[in-house]
Amino acid sequence: MARAVGNPKVRKQAPVAVLKNRYHYDKNVLSGSVTEGETVKTQAAVQISHLSKAYGNVAAVDDVSLSVAEGEIFGILGPNGAGKTTTVECVLGLRTPDTGSISVLGLDPVRDAGELHTIVGAQLQESALPAKLRVGEILAEYRSFYTEPADVGELIDGLGLAGKVKDYYRSLSGGQRQRLSIALALIGRPKVAVLDEMTSGLDPQARRDTWDLIESVRDRGVTILLVTHFMDEAERLCDRVALIDAGRVVAIDSPVGLAARASGGKSMRFVPSAPFDDRLLTELADVGTVTRNGSHVVVSGTGELVNAVILTLATAGVTARDVQLDTSSLEDAFVKLTGRHLHEEGIPA
């Protein structure tokens, strides 16, 4: 499976506007800003162009454009009330956009809803199942909705539900219910899976297991649109992330690329094994400043900072000990780009 993205360098410098429509997205990709050895699929699995949706006078989604490549895990990250769910509801044909257009593998979600639902699987927030049905009965029912369903045994093994087939839905824990919900999203062997807050309510182990499962699903070529407000999830899983705030796209980039934007550079600190002249490092292209803090040396810069510093020191016979990297996170990126924290409430919907 060719990976469209993944290398943060690809679009680190690309302005958001470039990614706003596929023509320029493709142009950007084809114009050689992609590093060697990387193939880029130009087919968009999900194409959202200038989507807007208001409830009454409140704009839930305001001119959102994004393009999800086939085989990509694409994250929509933002605080509560940012318009993430409304966006994917429009993608699923559950809501009709006020303006703008959406194409999912060439289908219009509202007009072609029937066909769309055969190739798209969805796990939505706050959707329960009948309390007095057994897991196996629920799976059998939803399996019958599709002409080429997945292998139920394989699916529930991957989700750790194999021992629960005879259990009533109401006896399942929150995490098990969530995993059953994910199983139902994948049971039709979708080409595109939309997962809305799929790991909320899961314990840490179950979250990691679910991430593994999602990666294995993607490895089979399924495009995944992941709505989340967990940064670690986006950092771990997503090839690219759209940061959404107050109904608008703030930035689209790889998680690393977004984080790099926030910091505006990298910095490292270490304890040198022997004294050295600062100029040794400041002469390097990637190094910005060198400061000393007691026994620690703090170097800030860009690019392949760490390799350059350590190699240069090594040739001078100095070893860098206790190396620490100040890496900025998606959270930093979010704060920098929107001026507030991810877990603050968005504009009340």
Partner 1 sequence: MNTHTLPRPKAPHSTTLQKAQLEKTPLEKTPLEKTPLEKTPLEKTPLEKTLFSKARLTRALLPETAPRAAFGQIVRNEARLAWRLPAGLIFGVGLPVLLLIIFNEIPSFHQVQASLGGLTAFDVYVPILIAMVIAIIALISLPGPLVTYRDQGILRRLSTTPVPPSWVLAVQLVIQFCITITSLLILIVVSITAFGLDVPKNPGALVLAIVLSIAAMFAIGLCIAAIARSGIAARAIGAAAFYPMLFFSGMWFPRELMPALLQNISNVTPLGAAVEAIQDSMQGQFPPAEPLLVLAGYALVFALIAGRFFRWE
Contacts to partner 1 by CB under 8 A: 17, 20-24, 42-44, 47, 49-50, 52, 62-63, 92, 94, 97, 99-103, 105-108, 110-115, 117-122, 124, 126-130, 132-133, 137-138, 140-142, 144-147, 184, 188, 194, 248
Cβ neighbours of 182 (radius 10 Å): 25
Helix (H, G, I), strand (E, B) or coil at 193: strand
E-only strand ranges, the chain: 44-55, 58-69, 73-77, 99-104, 120-123, 192-196, 223-228, 240-245, 248-253, 266-272, 287-293, 296-301, 320-326
Between 108 and 232, name the residue whose CB sits nearer to partner 1. Answer: 108
Residue 128 or 285 having the CB closest to partner 1: 128
Q: Which residues contact 144 (CB under 8 A, 6 or more apart)?
A: none
Provide the angle, in degrees to the nearest 10, between the axes of the packed helices 330-338 and 255-263. 60
Which is nearer to partner 1, 111 or 340 (by Cβ)? Answer: 111
Give the number of C-alpha atoms closer than 13 A to the C-alpha of residue 231, restricted to the C-beta side: 17
Least distance in Å: CB of 249 to partner 1? 11
C-alpha 343/C-alpha 79 separation (Å) is: 6
- Take residue 211 and report the two structure tokens written for it: 């991430």
What one-character-per-residue DSSP string does 211-233 give?
Answer: HHHHHHHHHTT-EEEEEES-HHH
**Main-chain dihedrals φ then ψ at residue 66, nearest 5 degrees:** -160, 160
Least separation in angstroms between residue 84's CB and partner 1 is 16
- In the complex, least distance from residue 318 CB atom to partner 1, rounded to whole angstroms: 49
Contacts of 26 (CB under 8 A, 6+ apart): 42
Name which of 124 and 310 has its Cβ closer to partner 1: 124
| CB closer to partner 1 out of 126 and 322 | 126
- Segment holding 184, helix H or strand E: helix 174-186
Question: Which lies closer to partner 1 via its Cβ, residue 101 or residue 263?
Answer: 101
Residue 256 CB, shortest distance to partner 1, in Å, is 26
CB of 111 to partner 1, least distance (A): 6
- Between strands 58-69 and 44-55, the pairing is antiparallel
- The residue whose two tokens read 């608008």 is 248
Minimum distance of partner 1 from residue 163's CB (angstroms): 21
Around 143, how many Cα atoms within 13 Å sit in the side-chain half-sphere?
Answer: 15
Q: Which is nearer to partner 1, 170 or 341 (CB)?
A: 170
* Cα–Cα distance, 8 to 332 (Å, whole number): 16
Nearest approach, Cβ of 27 to partner 1 (angstroms)? 10
- Minimum distance of partner 1 from residue 331's CB (angstroms): 25
Query: Smaller CB distance to partner 1: residue 221 or 264?
Result: 221
In the complex, least distance from residue 281 CB atom to partner 1, rounded to whole angstroms = 40
Q: Whose Cβ is closer to partner 1: residue 105's or residue 299's?
A: 105
